[in-house]
Amino acid sequence: MNRNFSRFDTLSSVLAGTTVAALTIIIGQPAIAKTPQAVANIAGPLTVQVNSAIGDGSGVIIAKNGKTYTVLTVNHVVEKPDIKYTVRTSIGKNYQATSVTRLQTTPTDPDLAVVKFESPEEYPVATIADSDQAVIGTQIFVYGYPATGGLFGAEREPELSPGLVTSRPRNRPEGYTLRYQAVTWSGMSGGPVFDSEGRVIGLHGQGEFGFAQTSSGEVAPIKTGFNAAVPINTFIAKLVLAGINKSELKVDNTPAIPGPVSTIPQDAQAYYFRGLSRLDQGDAWEAIADFNKALASKPNYTPELYFNIGNARTLISSSIDTTRGPSAIQAYTRAIAANPGFADAYYNRALAHLENKEKPEAIADFQKAAELYKQGGRTTAYQDARKRIEQLQ
């Protein structure tokens, strides 16, 4: 039975091409950001499925040499050496992987790998950009093949998910130092993260779960909406190990934006974004203040605002000062009132009920979350919610 790869969803050799592409450096005026539709048109032919008998992932074509193509993905999609892996391209053709080079040889190494396949078909090669330019506030797009709606393996359909960079920590386990808020699912691990010009700046591989310590000392998972990628610059530093020459890559380091986004909020969206960044960095009280300022404008993303206020309240639930705003339960309840189908809000509210020793209420919320996860094809999340129900009953 297939297991879908996405690091937080579980709770808890190099391809080279016909004509070697010369290193491309483009210098000129800052590029005008492409529309999401234009980015999707670029992303589609470049992004592939990486499938096996034990799980589904994604990847991106980064080089070509003759009939041999190089796909960049994350290591946890292809980490088992005794398993056969298949690459499925955007036109529905399947190819047996001819080799796999795993760049993660220790737990501290970046979660990266490269896969080769051979094909007489002509597939485009991704353009790579300087991932250091993806500063806080930068628009990004995650592209991949999620296992949603009960679809697995070759049945999966591609999805484009827009988001904003929320932080750039210096160090994170397995190299996940490009963080953003975007909707991602199991099966998208290894998929490319694009900038606003349709250039690859990272490889998606983590998403959905965070952890908070409650006042009772329990470390509980909460669904945060934050995700992370390994920046493409981290891969560039590993080219020798990957057996790739930089001249084989298409590189365009032209700035996509004239400079960093202002951190001084001017409207509800700016307050919302700054609140996300503060929450991502652990500044819960400051995040709540920004979310409340955004709420004052009654934006159409009100459910997400209340949801993130609930997450912030969960993070500070062990604080002595609990009088500065509504409880996590109240915030999640408001998120659910604004969006009755908000599965993660039910899940997190169940955890908050558990903290208050309200077992019947927790079971009811886990049951509703499980129902919504099943409807949405979120298999791993559904199984997790069902497991929690069984533990409580």
Domain CATH number, residue 72: 2.40.10.120
d(CA 125, CA 21): 9
Question: Is residue 257 included in any domain, yes or no?
Answer: no
Q: At what angle do helices 343-355 and 359-375 cross, to 10 degrees?
A: 160
Q: Which of 251, 279, 298 is the last residue of a domain?
A: 251
On whether residue 147 sits in a domain, the answer given is: yes
Q: In the structure encoding, which two tokens stand for residue 164, read together?
A: 């904003």
Residue 159 is predicted with a pLDDT of: 93
| Residue 326 confidence (pLDDT) | 59
Placement of tokens 């330019």 in the chain: 133
247 with 356, same domain?
no
Are residues 316 and 200 part of one domain? no
Whole-angstrom Cα distance, residue 340 to residue 346?
9
Are residue 224 and residue 283 in the same domain, yes or no?
no
- Is residue 323 domain-resident? yes
Total domains, the chain: 2
- Distance, in Å, from the CA atom of 271 to the CA atom of 263, rounded to the nearest integer, reads 9
Tokens for 315, please give them. Answer: 């993070």
Same domain, 278 and 360: yes
Q: Which residues, including other chains, have CB under 8 Å from residue 323's CB and lie 6 or more apart? A: none
**Residues 246, 276 within the same domain:** no
Clarify whether residues 192 and 334 are in a common domain: no
- Does residue 116 lie within any of the structural domains? yes
Domain enclosing residue 297, as ranges: 268-392
Q: Are residues 293 and 225 in the same domain?
A: no
The structure tokens listed for 111 are 């979660």
The amino acid present at 254, given as its one-letter code, is: T
393 residues of the chain, pLDDT tens digit each: 333 444 433 322 222 222 223 333 333 344 457 888 999 999 999 999 999 998 899 999 999 999 999 999 999 999 999 999 999 999 999 999 999 999 998 888 999 999 999 999 999 999 999 999 998 888 899 999 988 777 788 999 999 998 889 888 888 889 999 999 887 888 999 999 999 999 999 999 987 554 444 445 554 555 566 789 999 999 999 999 999 989 999 999 988 754 444 445 567 877 887 888 788 777 889 989 999 999 998 877 788 889 989 988 988 764 444 444 458 999 999 999 988 888 889 999 999 999 889 999 999 999 999 998 888 767 778 888 999 999 998
Specify if 29 maps to a domain: yes
For residues 30 and 173, membership in a common domain is answered with yes
Say which CATH number the domain at 288 has: 1.25.40.10
Which of 251, 277, 299 delimits the end of a domain?
Answer: 251
Q: Domain check: are 277 and 236 in the same one?
A: no
- What letter would DSSP give residue 276? H
Residue 290 lies in a domain: yes
- Amino acid in position 73: T
Q: Distance between CA 176 and CA 273 in Å, rounded?
A: 20
Residue whose tokens read 């009960």: 150
